[in-house]
Amino acid sequence: MKIVLSQLNYTIGDLKGNVSQMVEHVHRAKQDGADLIVFCELSICGYIPKDMLNYESFITRCYEALDDLKSHANDIAIVVGMPTRSGLVKGKSLYNSAVVLADGEVLQEVHKTLLPTYDVFDEYRYFEPNTNFKLVEYKGVKIAITICEDLWNLNEPYLYATTPMDELIGLQPDIMINISGSPYSYNHVEERKNRMVANAKQYNLPLVYVNQIGAHTDILFDGGSMFINQTGEIAEELHYFQEDYRCVEWSKDEIYPDNSHDYKDEDIELIHDALVMGIRDYFGKMGFKKALLGSSGGIDSAVIHALAAEALGPENVLAVLLPSKYSSTGSVVDAEALAQNLNSPYKVISIEEMVNVVENTLSPHFEGYDVDVTEENIQARSRGLLLMALSNKYGSMVLNTSNKSETAVGYATLYGDMCGGLSAIGDLYKMQVYEMARYINRDKEIIPNEIINKAPSAELRHDQKDSDSLPPYPVLDKILMLYIEKQKGWTEIVDLGYDEELVRKVIKLVDRNEYKRFQAAPILRISNLAFGIGRQMPLVGKFYN
Residues marked active site are found at 41, 112, 148
Across 390-426, b (16+ Cβ under 10 Å) vs e yields: bbeeeebbbbbbbbbbbbbbbbbbbebbbbbbbbbbb
Strand positions, DSSP E, 388-545: 397-400, 422-423
Q: How far is the CB of 130 from a second copy (least distance, A)?
A: 12
2-7 and 244-249 beta bridge pairing: antiparallel
Smaller CB separation from a second copy, 247 or 502: 502
Q: Nearest approach, Cβ of 416 to a second copy (angstroms)?
A: 9
| Closest separation in Å from C-beta 488 to a second copy | 7
437 vs 527: CA distance, rounded Å? 18
Transcribe 419-461 into DSSP letters. Answer: -SSEESSTTS-HHHHHHHHHHHTSSS--S-HHHHHSPP---SS
Instruction: Measure CA of the first residue to CA of the last residue in the chain; give whole Å.
Output: 62
Q: How far apart are CA 277 and CA 285, in angstroms?
A: 12
For the CB of residue 484, give the shortest distance to a second copy in the complex, in Å: 10
Which amino acid is residue 477, in one-letter code?
A: D
Cα–Cα nearest to 141, from 251, 305, 254? 251
CB atoms within 10 A of CB 526: 28
Cis, bond preceding 48 (omega within 30 deg of 0): yes
- Give the residue among 345, 351, 347, 342 at the shortest CA–CA distance from 306: 342
Residue 415 or 434 with smaller CB distance to a second copy:
415
Burial of 360 (0-12, 13-18, 19+ CB in 10 A): exposed
What's the closest the beta carbon of residue 384 comes to a second copy, in angstroms?
Answer: 6
Shortest approach of a second copy to residue 96 CB, angstroms? 14
Q: Which helix (H) or strand (E) holds 312?
A: helix 299-312
Q: Using CA atoms, how far apart are residues 106 and 72, in angstroms rounded to an integer? A: 12
